[in-house]
Amino acid sequence: MPSELSAYVSDTTPGRGALRPARSWLHSDAPSLSLNGAWRFRLSPTASVAQDFAAEGFDDHGWESIPVPSHWVLEGDGAHGRPIYTNIQFPFPIDPPHVPDENPTGDYRRHFAMPAGWSDAERIVLRFDGVESLFRVWVNGVEIGSAAGSRLAHEFDVTRAVRPGDNVVAVRVHQWSAASYVEDQDQWWLPGIFRDVTLTARPADGIEDVWLRTGFRDGRGRVEAEITAEGSAFPVTLRIPELGVEQVWATAADVTPVDAGEVEPWSAERPRLYEATVSTAAESIALRVGFRTVEIRGDRFLVNGRRVVFHGVNRHEAHPVRGRVFDEEHAREDLARMKRFNVNAIRTSHYPPHPRLLDLADELGFWVVLECDLETHGFEKGGWAGNPSDDPAWREAYLDRIRRTVERDKNHPSIVIWSLGNESGTGSNLAAMSAWVHARDAERPVHYEGDYTGEYTDVYSRMYASVPETELIGTDGTDTRLLNCTPAQSARQRAKPFLLCEYAHAMGNGPGALDQYEALVHEHPRLHGGFVWEWRDHGILATAPDGTQYHAYGGDFGEVVHDGNFVMDGMLLSDDVPTPSLYEYKAVVQPVRFVFDGDKVAVTNLRHSADTSDLRFRWRVEYDGTPVDAGDLEVPVVAAGESGWASLPPVPVAPEGETWLTIDAVLATAAPWAPQGHVVATVQSDRSPGVPVPAVRHRTGWRADGGTLTLGTAEFVDGSLVSLAGRAVTGPRLELFRAPTDNDKSPSDGVEESDASVPGVSNAELWRRDGLHRLTARRVSAERTADALRTLDKVSAANSALFVMVESVWSLEAGELELRVEIEPSRGWTTVWPRIGIRFDLPDGTAPVDGAEWFGLGPSESYPDSLRAARTGRFSSGIDDLSVDYARPQETGHRSGLRRLTLTSTGAEVFRVEALPDTHGRRPGFTLSRHTPQELARAKHPYELPASTTSRLTIDAAQHGLGSRACGPDVGPEFALRPEARTIRLRITAG
């Protein structure tokens, strides 16, 4: 690479040339022209110093056409390179600020006609809202300047280069640059011009920038205006018509605070906005104003004087086809979906989003932690050697990034915290960023998780702290040292509000223990909730060799350096399908809490500021899952943070079976994010009398069995089930294995995990070591009476002396077929088990099993540490819908608390199963799938699963919990499944 070019791409200077100072993203009536659309495009494998393509007369007819905004690696079916996913590591050698000569470079060209009348403008500004990573701009062959900061806005003054009529703009974009070292943000590397490009005619005596700082206290609103304009632009007028505000400032010196009178405050629950304009004779700017005051008082984070609890998610910009290209309709639905699932906060990980998204956050109502476009995580592996965060040569780059972050979005009431970035170690440059923010915006606090000792931030923040550690942080009076802190530093951090900027890593099937974190928030006021990692999977739509479309992850595009499916860690799948974890989250953080007391129920409003006048409370009674009565519950309006009592309706108890009372809090009228009747919160109460479990009948006169045997409609050969009601069925076989979840596959760090964990080794490895995926059975004995069959099997783990004894007793009880299975492990097992269950295989035959109806917990899957979203009722589902299409196949589909199950084929019953509780009252769960756990474990993508002609029914006495060990704590000890004796009792009836 020529030295001139090498110096350019490795320059840490954030921008050069006619680059304008950062300012707000404003809705102005000044003329503008979108340059989005088709551009001519050429991709080169390396950077070039040649600039001939920028000349006006350059012939680009041989070039391709590419849409702007877009990412070139997502255009052209792979002809323009491929996406690269890394989490921590850089996809190139760490040699800051230098990058490889192999530096894909895209050249863009586009003609535009300057509108008539623009020659009267004082200034013509060319704006880029997002370009990855380093770009240089020419207009009509004149070099304008360059800039870096991929998710930041840059404006160039092109007044001297443009002319009436036809103009040509040329842009050169380098995928790698010095800026890449500070943009290592656990996402796809997606180069190109991926946000809007706009040309604007700035009028003489216009408004360069506006900041309306709003406050709320004692029912009244206040506006402090900051107007950036030439003196000749005055007078400037502020109007808020709904409030009757019309304030005229004759000169800049006259701009003083304005009392807006009585106002409704803005909050994430009641996002009240007022239309405002700031005008001169030449330009009018429209804003939407929300009145709110942000403050830290002691160790409380308050908005409008009330403590905020963040029920938040980390949100990347990601779409399976567009990548980070913004689509407003999709973004609005994305945020509306968050509201429907009780999400009230967003951390913009780890950069400012498209500016329009924050308009939507203002409108729909979210607490927003706005994060700077900064992460240097790849330096961690080398002990942070060479990390730019403490290198003075990078100081201006860091300051430029935070300036552009704050200045662009400072008018948004939804933004309540500024975040310096993510996982960039610590150092003087971060401290300088914080000092700049404090000087620029004294109201909103500064966040940065990596400031563990609290030297320059206002809130204490951690990621993936375990439940016990989080409790210690919230507990008063303890002198336990916090992470990386001295006693004095620990005391300082405990005096601040605490939030989990990342927790509950939602990769694949998980996380568990969401309810335990939520309980701590209500117990310890210093704890202010947090942000689940993360909102959605980042899969990119791809086509498999067999033509099947799937969502690709790291390594699927032939990357040499990548981090696999770690990018698939959201509560929403790549195609917008909510996972069970999102339903669990909704239930855990629901803003209304119910406590039953006899014939009354206490209703507690956990909201920040909204009362319950927008809700209706509905009740229903079900007998064994069948509705028998329903109505409205008369609940008084409950203010935020208060409780009220309501009388329950009379609930007649079913003479046999179970009686359940369910209360739903629903929207009384439609909201912008959900229809009328949308369920916000729900609770169930079991009103059943105790029902005795049928006793086990002990038989005598057992004799050796051989040959065939019929018990009711069940046929056995040599002690093994072969058919039921003439249908081929085999089983039960002991099943201890589950297809490892992403959490199961993560190595243990040995910290606060179960005593069965092995540091540095994943559960999946331990299970394979112990041979749980390929158990071998040996029939020890088979005996029968006239109406019963008993078999004893020794089931051994492969290449091991470990075993499990399995006694199965089939019997006819009052004409019904009953199966009792006693499972007892040998001594010597040292690790947790994934499950304790039995499996039946049902070949398709003439009537394939295609669905299930059940009475138990549902409708979605549930596990020991993820049960809050599950309710007791009757549910039905097709076999394929019982499982979740995680990007990497893994354990899925388990339904807990089974009472009765009916397998169906095209609507007809195949057979029915009644599950009886064991002697401890524990009920089994079930999984119905087209694939075995072993088949799921072998596949890396759903399309790799083999075609199946057999349905698999597994009845589990127990399952291991989920945890969030892929990036966080392991399964809690109370949810860890240790090898133990279990009993499964079933009554089976043919359809």
Active-site residue list: 423, 502
**The total number of residues written for the chain in this structure:** 991
Of 787, 819, 788, 815, the C-alpha closest to 806 is 819
Which amino acid is present at 893?
Answer: G
Sheet of 498-503, strands arranged across: 446-447, 415-419, 367-371, 345-347, 310-314, 527-532, 498-503, 460-463
Q: Is the dihedral of CA 50, 55, 58, 61 positive or negative?
A: positive
> What is the C-alpha separation between 594 and 918, in angstroms, rounded?
30
- The residue ranges of DSSP E strands in 553-707, in sequence order, are 592-597, 600-605, 615-623, 626-632, 643-647, 659-667, 679-686, 703-704
How far is residue 192 from each of residues 148, 169, 172, 316, measured CA to CA in Å?
12, 15, 9, 17
| 8 Å CB contact between 413 and 407 | no
Would you give the DSSP letter of residue 112?
E
| 8 Å CB contact between 85 and 560 | no
Q: What DSSP letter does each residue of 286-317 carry, written as one string?
A: EEEE----EEEETTEEEETTEE--EEEEE---
Whether the upstream peptide bond of residue 528 has omega within 30° of 0, thus cis, is: no
Q: What 3-state DSSP class applies to 367? A: strand
Tell me the sheet residues that pair with 313: 346, 532
Q: What 3-state DSSP class applies to 217? A: strand
| 8 Å CB contact between 147 and 92 | no
Q: What DSSP letter does each residue of 118-175 carry, written as one string?
A: GGG-SEEEEEES-EESEEEEEETTEEEEEEE-TTS-EEEE-TTT--SEEEEEEEEEES
Q: What 3-state DSSP class applies to 52? A: helix
Residue 831: alpha-carbon gap to chain centroid: 30
Rounded (10°) angle between helices 580-588 and 514-523: 20
> What is the C-alpha separation between 242 and 272, in angstroms, rounded?
12
How far is residue 943 from each of residues 119, 422, 545, 550, 929, measured CA to CA in Å?
58, 35, 10, 7, 15
Tell me the sheet residues that pair with 294: 303
How far is residue 20 from each of residues 16, 36, 123, 355, measured CA to CA in Å?
10, 21, 11, 18
| 8 Å CB contact between 184 and 88 | yes
Strand pairing category for 498-503 and 154-157 = unpaired
Alpha helices in 782-912 (DSSP H): none
C-beta atoms surrounding 385 within 10 Å:
9
> What is the C-alpha separation between 580 and 510, in angstroms, rounded?
8
| 8 Å CB contact between 150 and 131 | yes
Q: What DSSP letter does each residue of 752-801 carry, written as one string?
A: S--TT--BT-BHHHHHHHTTTTS-EEEEEEEEEETTEEEEEEEEE-TTSS
> Residue 345 is inside which H or E element, if any?
strand 345-347
The set of residues, in sequence order, having a beta carbon less than 8 Å from that of 330 and lying 6+ positions away, is 319
**What tokens does 747 get?**
């190595």
